[in-house]
Amino acid sequence: MPLPEALRLLVHFQCMPVLASGGEETLVGGQAVMEGVMMRAPHSYCVAVRKASGEIVSQGKPLPKMSEKYPIFRFPVLRGLGTLGQALGLGMRTLQYSANVALEELKPQAATKEMSSWMLWLNIGLALGFFIFMYKLVPLYLATALSKLFPALGGRIPFNLVDGVIRMAIFIGFMFLLSFWKDIRRVFEYHGAEHRVVFNFESDLPVTVENAQTFPTFHPRCGTSFLLVVMLVSIGVYTLLPFDSFLLKFAGRILLLPVIAGLSYELIRFAARHRGGLLSTLTAPGLWLQRITTRPPSADQTQVAIEALERAMAIEKAQGGQLVIA
């Protein structure tokens, strides 16, 4: 894969949790990919990508839920890990598909027209390493340095509040800077298209480009909202750690990632089933942040999202799936 394409894919992997649906198991959800959208129904998915020629190509398959394949993922916290793990795996596969479509359109002398497995895993490893460095190591290091300058910040509660605020500031600043990159801005436009089509599907109106374009691009089930909930939950969890050593605090932040993700899933699941004040409180910061991570899409981009949804639903119907929330 040429270096510019590899760098582009690496940044897309870093943005993937922001671009995907998060939290509650729903009837439909999706994710923006390179020049396209992935949409999933309860037991199927389809990713649609528009080529430079204007043609829309797609790939879709049945997709059983983790809780149906493995009963252990029906239990609280674990069901969140199963759902989120499957969502991330699906996101990687569909992002790889969109990257391969982009590679097919490169000049004939390109070294390869398909991303190899080792390149995929290399990008995943680099994205994970970047995540741990930026959102675990750097906030902890800065909070530790500030606590030495200001002893009042040395207590567990103020220390972890500072750590959490720094983490969120880095996250928001990073997303803001990426939004100026043309490639990422187009992904954010497809992100907006995905949200509009989901809103259109959830309404009583036929799913059409004209109808979808009337809906907002900010959706409460967005991965952006979920990530902010994860960051808020992590502040409380880290406060309970009885460690003073920097290395032990850092190790705890890595090892507790699955626990925090599972707890955050349960919190959003509870809020979604008790709609009102709690849900509004949890999703409000994410909706504000989506002013960065979504952009108004063109009609052509919304058409791609509709194509992905229609084909996912066709696969769902073909296997007799019931279109209901699980």
> What digits encode the pLDDT tens for the residues 157-208?
999 999 999 999 999 999 899 888 888 899 999 999 999 999 999 888 999 9
Alpha carbons 273 and 263: distance in angstroms, whole number: 16
Where are any strands of DSSP class E within the chain? 29-33, 36-41, 44-50, 56-62
Residue pair 228/202 in contact by the 8 Å Cβ criterion = no
Residue pair 283/219 in contact by the 8 Å Cβ criterion = no
Alpha carbons 326 and 316: distance in angstroms, whole number: 14
Q: Is the pLDDT of residue 117 over 70?
A: no
pLDDT band at 27 (very low <50, low <70, confident <90, very high): low
Alpha carbons 246 and 277: distance in angstroms, whole number: 38
Q: Which residue has the higher pLDDT, 30 or 7?
A: 30
Q: What is the mean pLDDT of the chain?
A: 83
> What digits encode the pLDDT tens for the residues 145-155?
999 999 998 88
Q: Which residue has the higher pLDDT, 33 or 7?
A: 33
| Cβ partners under 8 Å of residue 31, min gap 6 | 16, 19, 20, 21, 37, 38, 90, 91, 94, 95, 194, 223
| % of residues, the chain, pLDDT over 70 | 81
Residue type, 114: E
> What digits encode the pLDDT tens for the residues 281-314?
666 777 788 888 899 999 999 999 999 999 999 9
| Predicted structure pTM score | 0.85
Nearest Cα residue to 10 out of 139, 96, 136, 97:
96
Residue pair 22/268 in contact by the 8 Å Cβ criterion = yes
Task: Specify the pLDDT at position 250.
Answer: 95
Collapsing DSSP states into helix, strand and coil, what is residue 36? Answer: strand
- Angle (nearest 5°) at CA 192 between 88 and 313: 65
Backbone angles phi, psi at 285, to 5 degrees: -60, -40
